[in-house]
Structure 1
């Protein structure tokens, strides 16, 4: 639950979240990180030459792997600057990668 209030000091309208919604958001982010770590581990076991998860995009662009397929217990679909992974148990993780290969967290798409 959230509420919008005017900040008396600055006059700006701010949105404040209750402790429960902050905890729920934290749990969603931590769940995303856990799922991403599990995907990273599974991909590195399945593709030993993989140095980082972002290399999936590079491999697909160079046609060394398909833009979509199944590796270990995950299906994957490479898109633009990232990849969508779906585990056999239905967990979905959509991740984009920065130019340096680091993961970019985008909550609206990741938890859609």
Structure 2
């Protein structure tokens, strides 16, 4: 029993040290948890997919024609058609994932 009493607190303590506690914005109001200027370069990272790969993935998802594609704030801003409706897309440059898809004309 005394061996278990000595091991259990060690396990709990080491487990607590490996799981960091996220900062509290109420205590540190100037902290930006999910944003960083480093993420918003003027051009894609070296690990980003080629523009042709992004276009091909979007075509595969049914977005064509692609009428506009600009890199802004760390993401691709794309205007493409899906069916007969123009769509405004935000695309993650390293994976090609579509992060948002909205009507390009502002209607929902």
TM-score, with length taken from structure 2: 0.27
* Higher RCO (CA < 8 A, seq sep 6+): 2
Q: Return the structure number with greater strand share.
A: 1
Q: Between Structure 1 and Structure 2, whose CA radius of gyration is higher?
A: 2
TM-score by length of 1: 0.27
